Amino acid sequence: DVKVTQSSRYLVKRTGEKVFLECVQDMDHENMFWYRQDPGLGLRLIYFSYDVKMKEKGDIPEGYSVSREKKERFSLILESASTNQTSMYLCASSVQGVRTEKLFFGSGTQLSVL
Amino acid sequence: SQQGEEDPQALSIQEGENATMNCSYKTSINNLQWYRQNSGRGLVHLILIRSNEREKHSGRLRVTLDTSKKSSSLLITASRAADTASYFCATVHLQGAQKLVFGQGTRLTINP
């Protein structure tokens, strides 16, 4: 089975800290995605990547950046964490584009920014 | 916004009954997908239906798609307590980037 692993289930950070959320997939998938999930708002796409060193902004990229130096790893970076970035963060991957393929999700990271 | 909308937001039924959830969207799609999420966990893919398909089955799941009404439904037959979860529809639109756009989900509770 495909495995998408997020490095932390829970994180607590201080306002202004630089935060790294790591995601690794083990099935050589081309595409990787970062979503955040908030009550009443559903899942919103932050950034996605179709190839190594390639990234594209999603619907809410402000305050975030990403890094994809290796195919299996996609990192989400909060340059200066703020309380409104408290959320559940979900990483996902897919073999090819979503026009033909489903997404495989990690278990999520619940981030609290105090 | 391209975001889909699920209806109802919450549904509570007795074990053994059928559960129906609906999803509506606004712009033409390439495909529509349903996902399930147990509390505090990641999403798990259930079924994908393409724009040229009208109905798909997978075990106790039945999904229909009506592109003229821009809507889909997910039916879970003979529900079990373990089906308690949130269910999300997600659409891939014909225009724009290849990305899944999720609705806000339906919270399904199956009472034993």
Q: What is the pLDDT of residue B94?
A: 72
A 10 A CB-CB count for B6 gives 25
A108 in Cβ contact with A90 (< 8 Å):
yes
Q: Does A47 touch chain B (CB under 8 A)?
A: no
Number of structural domains (chain B) is 1
Query: B100 touching A, CB under 8 A?
Result: yes
Residues of chain B with pLDDT under 70: 1-3, 95-97
The pLDDT of residue A101 is 77
pLDDT at B99: 78
- In angstroms, what separates the C-alpha of B78 from chain A's closest C-alpha? 26
The SS3 assignment for A53 reads coil
**Could you tell me if residue B112 is inside a domain?**
no
User: Under an 8 A CB cutoff, do B99 and A48 touch?
Assistant: yes
Q: What is the dihedral of CA B111, A103, A34, A45, to 10 degrees?
A: -80
Q: Which domain holds residue B94?
A: 5-98
Of the candidates B94, B103, B91, B98, the one whose C-alpha atom is nearest the C-alpha of residue A58 is: B98
Confidence at residue B82, expressed as pLDDT on a 0 to 100 scale: 95
B95 SS3 class: coil
In single-letter form, the type of residue at position B91 comes to: T
How high is the pLDDT of residue B78?
97
B39 occurs within a structural domain: yes
Least Cα separation, residue A102 to chain B (angstroms): 7
Q: Tens of pLDDT along A4-22?
A: 999 899 999 999 999 999 9
Residue B71 lies in a domain: yes
Contact A43 B88 (CB under 8 A): yes
- Find chain A residues with C-beta within 8 A of B44's C-beta: 105
Angle, alpha carbons A87-A60-A90 (nearest 5°): 40
- Predicted confidence at residue A21, as pLDDT, reads 97
Interchain CB contact of A2 with B (< 8 Å): no
Closest residue in A to B42 (Cα–Cα) = A107
Instruction: Tell me what pLDDT residue A64 has.
Output: 98
Could you tell me if residue B20 is inside a domain? yes
The 10s digit of each residue's pLDDT in A68-103 is 999 999 999 999 999 999 999 999 998 876 656 789
B45 touches chain A (CB under 8 A): yes
Give the pLDDT confidence score for residue A19 in this predicted structure: 97
CA distances from A2 to A27, A104, B100 (A): 6, 7, 19
The percent of residues in chain A predicted with pLDDT above 70, rounded, is 95
Paired tokens of B15: 């074990």
Kindly list the domain boundaries of chain A, sorted by start residue. Answer: 4-106
What pLDDT score was predicted for residue A74?
A: 97
In a domain, B31, yes or no: yes
Is the CATH code 3.40.50.620 the one for domain A4-106? no
| CATH number of the domain enclosing B49 | 2.60.40.10
> Does B111 fall in a domain?
no
B15, part of any domain: yes
* Residues A19-74: tens digit of each pLDDT: 999 999 998 898 999 999 998 888 999 999 988 988 999 999 999 999 999 999 99
CA-based nearest distance A18→chain B, Å: 24
Looking at the complex, does the CB of residue A40 fall below 8 Å from at least one CB of chain B? yes
Contacts 24+ apart (CB under 8 A), B22-26: B22/B71, B22/B72, B22/B73, B22/B74, B23/B71, B23/B72, B23/B73, B23/B74, B23/B89, B23/B103, B24/B69, B24/B70, B24/B71, B24/B72, B25/B70, B25/B71, B25/B72, B25/B89, B25/B91, B26/B1, B26/B2, B26/B70
Rounded mean pLDDT of chain A?
92
Pair A64, A76: CB distance under 8 Å: yes
Percent of chain B whose predicted confidence (pLDDT) is above 70: 94
